[in-house]
A and B are shown apart, each in its own frame.
Chain A
Amino acid sequence: MENKIITIKDLKKEFGKNKVLRGIDFALDPGETVVVLGPSGSGKSTFLRCINRMEEPTAGEIYFKDTLITDKNIQKMRQKIGMVFQHFNLIANLNVMDNLIMAPVTLKLMSEEKAEQKAKDLLKHIGLSNKAEAYPASLSGGQKQRIAIIRAMMMDPEVLLFDEPTSALDPEAIGDVLSLIREVDKLGMTIMIVTHEMGFAREIASRIVFIDEGKILEEGTSETFFTHPKTPRVKEFLEKVL
């Protein structure tokens, strides 16, 4: 477990009788960029959502660094595990600035002035300084998602989870969001992404994890995975999506 950011042991998740995750063992090194691939319904989003307990695992253990994530420490852990959602989930009743500073200020991680300064810098960086006072309803999908990404960055997370960050976007916005993810990646952030963007996955991943029927079927570097898949299932999948 030493030096791992996330360690997962025999993770299982059932929704009623439906066994979505059937025992996943996984570990994430600092600085890694792991892309989780798999057919729809394979459990890849559920896997990602179990890590910060957006979904309550049915069985198994999840460690953040050396600490077992439990009911008691989950809020503290989540402050260090950022998440970006498919549907952005900007808080509708808060303007962009408040979306960015609310958590760090409420949780007393930063003073209000410091948080505002940081938010302004980040907004400037993504070219949306003029949207600080805007409410989410007035923003486009691409703008919302980029703000959601910098909202996660406001917390200085040690790992960022992206749950299909571009699936609800139009092609132009997808490009903007992917570039921002690339930038975050270049900063050395530890990242896990569930995505259907194969080209992007291949480019950004330091490791690919392929999930099928609730289990990790294959994993390896981006290059090996895409050019020399080991299992027929992955071969078939790649033939269909590439």
Chain B
Amino acid sequence: MGDFFNKIIELFTTPQYIEAMLHGFLLTLQIAFFAIIIGLIIGTVVALVDTAKASKWLMLPKLICKVYTTIIRGTPMALQLFIMFFVIFAIKGFPQIIIAILAFGFNSGAYVAEVVRSGIQSVDPGQKEAGLALGLKNITIFRKIIAPQAIKNIIPALGNEIITVIKETAIVSMVGLYDLNMAAKDIGSGQNMASYIVPMFVAALFYLAVVYLITFVIKRVEKRLRKSDLRAV
């Protein structure tokens, strides 16, 4: 046990180790952050197309969305990452971090789309009817009635998706990116600490801390949203 604590101290006091760790952590956060943004944008657009009333103009977009979500959700993330790196962006000198962001963003978009779609569809149809019966336009009904209520349904599941993306970014180490996961492996290797347990334990704590923070924020947001619609006088 004493050895374990000595190793922890060694990791945190050796600039080379702790800097590598933080570098990796930063890369993980960068990839996750931008991937989540892209995922939210793609996911929202796909969900809107998906839930829009069928029409001539939307036939092709709806088909594209369907194909997109089916492929993304039906194949492994690791394979999608490989395809992005070694097939689609097999361009010398193209920034690897951007490829990773795009890979995770495209992946997350399909899941966000499902979350947003089910959030929109779980709004009571009577809410839309109320707006229609008052003579409001569809766009007004969506903005003022459907969207605010859908967001309430979406937030918890979206929190899950954000957490999933953060953790899933660990597989970028498979294509050689130096993220938190890779940093832990590198520091634990023979040329460095020659022991995996401590760096991996610390990496786990880093992941946990972020996930915990996000869970906390999501819970707070959820609570606030719920309060507003139960508020009496």
Please determine whether A103 and B135 come into contact, CB atoms closer than 8 angstroms.
yes
Quick check: which of A7-15, A130-138, A174-182, A213-221 contacts chain B, the rest being far away?
Answer: A130-138
How far apart sit A3 and B192, CA to CA, in the bound complex (Å)?
93
Closest residue of B by beta carbon distance from A49? B129
**Are B231 and A135 neighbours in the complex by a CB distance under 8 Å?**
yes
- Are B130 and A75 interface neighbours, CB within 8 A? no
Residue contact A91 to B133, C-beta cutoff 8 Å: no
The stretch of A31-39, A80-88, A199-207 in contact with B is A80-88
Residues of chain B with a CB closer than 8 A to A151's CB: 134
- Total interface residues on A, CB under 8 Å, equals 37
The residue that A85 contacts in the complex, of B130, B230, B231, with Cβ under 8 A, is B130
Task: List A contacts of B229 (CB < 8 A).
Answer: 92-93, 135-137
Contact among B136, B144, B230, B232 with A75 in the assembled complex (CB-CB below 8 Å) = B136
In whole angstroms, how far apart are the Cα atoms of A189 and B140 in the complex? 28
Q: Is B131 an interface residue (CB 8 A)?
A: yes
Whole-angstrom distance between the Cβ of A155 and the nearest chain B Cβ: 7
Q: Does A198 contact B (CB under 8 A)?
A: no
Answer whether residue B127 sits at the interface, using C-beta atoms and an 8 A cutoff. Answer: yes
Q: How many residues from B make CB contacts under 8 Å with A?
A: 24
Contact, CB under 8 Å: B132 / A137: no
Indicate whether A91 sits within 8 Å of B127 (C-beta atoms), given known contacts A106-B140, A135-B230, A138-B231: yes
Once A137-B229, A138-B231 are accepted as A-B contacts, the answer to whether A155 and B149 lie under 8 Å apart by CB is no
Cα of A220 to Cα of B93 in the assembled complex, Å: 84
Task: Name A75-117 residues within 8 Å CB distance of B.
Answer: 75-83, 85, 87-95, 102-103, 106-107
Contact with A along B132-160 (1 / 0, CB 8 A): 11111100100011001100100000000
Known: A85-B126, A138-B231. A93 touches B145 (CB 8 A): yes
Bound form: Cα–Cα A216–B230 in Å = 44
For B109-143 the 0/1 string (1 means CB < 8 A from A) is 00000000000000010110111111111001000
A80-B135, A102-B144, A107-B135 are known; give 16 further A-B pairs, CB within 8 A: A52-B133, A54-B129, A79-B134, A82-B133, A87-B126, A89-B133, A91-B145, A92-B127, A93-B149, A94-B144, A103-B131, A103-B134, A106-B144, A134-B232, A137-B230, A138-B232
CB <8 Å contact, A78 and B134: yes
What is the CA–CA distance of A103 and B145 in the complex, to the nearest angstrom? 11
A80 to chain B, nearest CB (A): 8
**Do A76 and B135 touch (CB < 8 A)?**
yes
Check if A91 sits within 8 Å of B129, measured CB to CB.
Answer: no
Chain B facing A: main interface SS? helix
In the complex, how many angstroms separate the beta carbon of A112 from the nearest chain B beta carbon? 15
A118 to chain B, nearest CB (A): 15
- B233/A103 in contact, CB under 8 A: no
Q: A235 vs B230: C-alpha distance in the bound complex, in angstroms? A: 47
Q: Does B75 contact A (CB under 8 A)?
A: no
Interface: B228 (CB within 8 A): yes
Tell me which of A80, A83, A94, A133 contacts B233 (CB under 8 A).
A133
- Cα distance A75–B132 in the bound complex, in angstroms: 7
Q: Which residue of A lies closest to B146 (CB)?
A: A93
Report A129-182 residues with CB < 8 Å from chain B CB.
130-138, 151-152, 155
Closest approach, in angstroms, between the C-beta of B199 and any C-beta of chain A? Answer: 48
Alpha-carbon separation in the docked complex, A131 to B231 (Å): 11
CB contact under 8 A between A78 and B231, given known A89-B130, A90-B130: no
Q: Identify 28 residue pairs between A and B in the complex whose beta-carbon atoms are under 8 Å apart, listed by A's number.
A: A52-B132, A52-B133, A78-B133, A78-B134, A82-B133, A85-B133, A89-B133, A91-B144, A91-B145, A92-B127, A92-B149, A92-B229, A93-B145, A93-B148, A93-B152, A102-B144, A103-B134, A107-B135, A130-B233, A131-B233, A132-B233, A134-B231, A134-B233, A135-B228, A135-B230, A137-B229, A151-B134, A155-B135
Closest-CB distance, A129 to chain B (whole angstroms): 10
**A89–B135 CB distance below 8 A:** no
Q: Which of B130, B136, B230 has the most CB of A within 10 A?
A: B130
Q: Quick one: closest B residue to A75, CB to CB?
A: B135
